[in-house]
Amino acid sequence: MSPQNQLEISRRDLLISSAATVAITGAASGVAAAQTADRSMTHSSMISLKVNGESRDLDVDNRTTLLDALREHLNLTGTKKGCDHGQCGACTVIVDGRRINSCLTLAVMHDGDDVTTIEGLGRPGNLHPMQAAFVKHDGFQCGYCTPGQICSSVAVLEEIKANIPSHVTGSLTEQATISETEIRERMSGNICRCGAYSNIVAAIIEAAGTRA
């Protein structure tokens, strides 16, 4: 074999072996990265929540939503899982005085927070004014969305009281008012598939007067 042929074979073998080495190294790195990511994703954390006035300590998977922590870990099933995409409002709870969709946030993000669910607003025989108004005005039919509607309604009145404007607020400098237009806008993120919207608005207006 000529020296030229030996040189070509050597160069070819070198390129093949180099490519193989890169491929093997890359595959090994990918496996290691996947294992690291898998360990990270399945890691759990200890968190402490104040739920309905009671301190609760939980050991939860980092991927657990606040909704699932409430329902599956604390057995507070009043908060409903509807669309699970933050579009229906059935999972609305009040966190540190503000309403949120609990399906869109992780439980570990609320370590130390104060969470109020429908169970914390009132009980049979001692209803919250908003709950009583919903009953009086028949603000529900199937009732599935009602816990989220009520939690959101309570927070809406606090938003108006704090003068937080909405998209339909007439003036940003004057005190926000309780009106049907304001309530409908602020409650637009809570869907009622039964269509009890008019009764819900009436209930909120009455509850606002009761609170006043």
Topology of the domain comprising 44-121: Ubiquitin-like (UB roll) (3.10.20)
pLDDT at 212: 46
The CB density around residue 1, as the number of other CB atoms within 10 Å, is: 6
201: three-class secondary structure by DSSP: helix
Alpha helices, DSSP H only, in 42-100?
66-68
| Ranges of each domain in the chain | 1-42, 44-121, 123-212
| Average pLDDT of the chain to the nearest whole number | 88
pTM score > 0.75 for this model? Answer: yes
- Specify the higher pLDDT residue, 8 or 182: 182
DSSP string, 89-126: -TTEEEETTEEEEGGGSBGGGGTT-EEE-HHHH-BTTB
Tell me if 44-121 shares its fold with 123-212: no
Strand, helix or coil at 99? strand
Q: How confident is the model at residue 156 (pLDDT cuts 50, 70, 90)?
A: very high
- Look at domain 123-212 and name its CATH class: mainly alpha
Helix or strand holding residue 35 (H, E)? helix 3-41
Two tokens, residue 100: 């949120």
> For residue 93, what are the β-bridge partners?
100
What are 55's two structure tokens? 């301190």
For 45, which DSSP code? E
155-172: average pLDDT: 93
The pLDDT tens digits for 23-63 are: 565 655 665 665 655 545 569 999 999 999 999 999 999 99
Q: What pLDDT score was predicted for residue 171? A: 86
